Amino acid sequence: MKVLVLNGPNLGRLGRRQPEIYGTTTHAELAHRCVEWGRDLGLDVEVRQTNHEGVLLDWLNAAADDRTAVVLNAAAWTHYSYAIYDACAQLEAPLVEVHISDPSQRPEEFRHTSVVSPHAVDVVAGHGIDGYRIALERLAAGA
C-alpha cells in the first residue's frame, strides 16, 4: 500500500524549531525513519513537507484521486484551514492525523480545535516523532 506522509508549515524546521516541544530530530531524519518504518510494515511511504497551503491541497487532491492513504500533520493549518478540511473530506483511503505534541494540552486555545479530525480514522498526538510510526502501524493494520 502506498502512503503519503504530508507535513505542513514549519515542520521543515524540525530539530531547530522549539526543540523543547518538537524534539531534536530533523525533518530529513523523520522522513528517513518513516520510509524505513513503512518498509518494515510493507508500506511504500513517501514523505513531503510544504510551507505553502495550496501545495498541500494539491497533494491531498491527488491522494483523493489516486485513493492513496495519508498520514497528515497539517501543523498550524490543522486549526483553521477550511480548505484543508474540504480536501480531507474528499479522501477515500484512510487518513491518520498526527501531531508531535498534543495540541489539546497546549496552552494556546486555538490549538484545541482540529479541522482534520472529522475526516481521520485515527488521531495520534503527543508521542513525538514516534507518533508517525504509530500512525503507519495503524494504516498497515487496516485502519
Active site residue 85: no
Task: Judge contact between 137 and 71, C-beta under 8 A.
Answer: no
Enumerate the known binding-site residues for substrate.
Answer: 73, 79, 86, 100-101, 111
The catalytic position among 22, 27, 85, 119 is 22
- Grid coordinates of 49: 513537507
Q: Could you say which of 27, 85, 99, 132 is catalytic?
A: 99
Q: Which long-range contacts (CB under 8 A, 24 or more apart) does 19-24 make?
A: 21/100, 21/101, 22/100, 22/101, 23/100, 23/128, 23/129
Which residues make up each annotated binding site? 73, 79, 86, 100-101, 111
Which residues carry out catalysis?
A: 22, 99
